[in-house]
Amino acid sequence: MPRPRPQPGGAHPHPDPAPVPRAPGGVTATRYPESVRLGVLDIGSNTVHLLVADVRPGGRPLATTSQRTVLRLMRYLAPDGSITEEGVHALVAAVTEARKVAASERVDELLATATSAVREAKNGPEVIALIEEALGQPLQVLGGETEARYTFLAVRRWFGWAAGQILLFDIGGGSLELAAGGDELPEAAASVPLGAGRMTVQFLPDDPPGEEAVEKLRHHARKTLAPVAKKFGKLAAPDHVVGSSKAIRSLAKLVGYPVPGWSGIERMLLPRASLGSWIPRLARIPASARQELPGITADRTFQIVAGAVVLHEAMRALDVDELEVSPWALREGVLLRYIESLSWSTPGA
């Protein structure tokens, strides 16, 4: 599959890919004299992650703080699909801490979003109410396709128009998002319940999981991805295939290779063949030993096997031989989309 060498940052505004997350009080556009400090709180299936960035007219977001609390909410799912009391307490504590950090960083606007784990929990409404109480503001719960659209926006802005037709994979803890298109608004977006955390709990509970369990997961992933592959197969062939999310970055450090980028930015490529050759080895290594491998952090070591299997099957289903890792993903997409809604005044106005 062709791999052009687009330069980051070449994209321009496009019609809304998704609703803008609500700021406190429902405000979606504010006038600022020159710059503003924004915070994006991403309440995901694996982590509660706060990104703080300074933004200004015509400039790229400049991250100042990144604070993460590892939760792995899939561990706290009860048999009926609800988040247990222990999980809710851990989640509220993480959100409360993130709010304190945002206050200490003097954030002007905090954009709070939640994805798969909270969205699909049986007691989701009750959990959302407790999160909003801890935040002191509304929480925007993103649908799976909306999540894919925000991430696609971030990827398009990073690689620019020169990337042509982009195909995106993003693996979270609860779901796998895919999006494709030649603009900032993807022509197709999909979300399937193949997240690394979810698949670990359902198919790979043993440590190490063993080959039989991996094969069962592989079969399930192929079956789940079949209708998605059919849908995306009707689109134009991608010029550039991109992977985002912590799981894919970790796998790229393990099995991929770097190539020179621009302005000293190192680019990482991840070949499907190398990923496939590593899966049997990962499945034989205990989780405690996996974190000694390049790129595998302690918070990802339990679910990296499932993430590798899902990504390999997704690349196979869409006939992808290699992808490039994007440093930007969902949080940057939310940030970029919100910036577009701001009404900037000119200096001295």
Report which of residues 76 and 27 the model is more confident about. 76
Q: What is the pLDDT of residue 33?
A: 52
Same domain, residue pair 70 and 168: no
Same domain, residue pair 232 and 297: yes
Report which of residues 266 and 160 the model is more confident about. 160
Same domain, residue pair 339 and 309: no
Q: How far is 338 from 329, CA to CA, in rounded Å?
A: 14
Same domain, residue pair 168 and 307: yes
Helical axes 144-159 vs 330-341, angle rounded to 10°: 80
Helical axes 304-317 vs 272-284, angle rounded to 10°: 150
- In this predicted structure, the answer to whether residue 265 has a pLDDT above a threshold of 90 is no
Q: Global pTM? A: 0.86
Q: What is the pLDDT of residue 201?
A: 92
Q: Report pLDDT digits (tens) over 32-41.
A: 557 899 999 9
Confidence of residue 21 (pLDDT cuts 50, 70, 90): low
| Burial (0-12, 13-18, 19+ Cβ within 10 Å), 196 | buried
Q: How far is 156 from 106, CA to CA, in rounded Å?
A: 29
Confidence of residue 94 (pLDDT cuts 50, 70, 90): very high
Is 13 domain-assigned?
Answer: no
Same domain, residue pair 66 and 119: yes
Same domain, residue pair 309 and 336: no
Same domain, residue pair 193 and 266: yes
Count of domains in the chain?
2
Is 148 domain-assigned?
Answer: no
Q: What is the pLDDT of residue 35?
A: 83
Q: How far is 125 from 146, CA to CA, in rounded Å?
A: 19
Residue partners of 89: CB distance under 8 A and separation at least 6: none
- In this predicted structure, the answer to whether residue 88 has a pLDDT above a threshold of 90 is yes
Nearest residue to 21 via CA among 141, 191, 154, 186: 141
CATH code of residue 165: 3.30.420.150
Nearest residue to 154 via CA among 163, 103, 285: 163
**Which of 10-24, 94-108, 140-154 shows the lowest mean pLDDT across its residues?**
10-24
Alpha carbon 259 to chain centroid, angstroms = 23
Same domain, residue pair 203 and 68: no
Same domain, residue pair 248 and 317: yes
Give the domain range for residue 249: 161-329
